[in-house]
Amino acid sequence: MRAMIGLGRNRLSLGRDLRLINADGDAVWLEGTVRLRPGQAVDLVGHWPTEPMTPRGHVVSWHLTRLGPEGPIYRGCVRLQR
């Protein structure tokens, strides 16, 4: 999934679409091949160490970090809604 995700809320899978880099309070830092945009609403599905449900949030920052064998790799921060 290398194209930019469209408008509206999107379901992204931890492990398939994104990798968890760090979690701190209501913010998570993620990395993956999915291109997101700041302000975009997302639902994050998958195994979360501290979240029993699917967290919802908004992308705070998202940028290209490197080019890998699978294509562009992006990294950024998502602020979770509580």
Identify whether the C-beta of residue 36 lies closer than 8 Å to the C-beta of residue 46: no
Looking at per-residue pLDDT, the higher value among 4 and 47 belongs to: 47
Q: Measured between alpha carbons, how far is residue 55 from residues 8, 9, 14 in Å?
A: 16, 12, 11
Identify whether the C-beta of residue 17 lies closer than 8 Å to the C-beta of residue 36: no
CATH number of 10-80: 2.40.30
pLDDT of residue 61: 98
Q: Answer yes or no: is pLDDT of 30 > 70.
A: yes
Note the Cα 47 to chain centre separation in Å.
13
Domain boundaries, the chain: 10-80
Query: In the numeric block, which tokens belong to residue 65?
Result: 């970090």
Average pLDDT over residues 64-68: 94
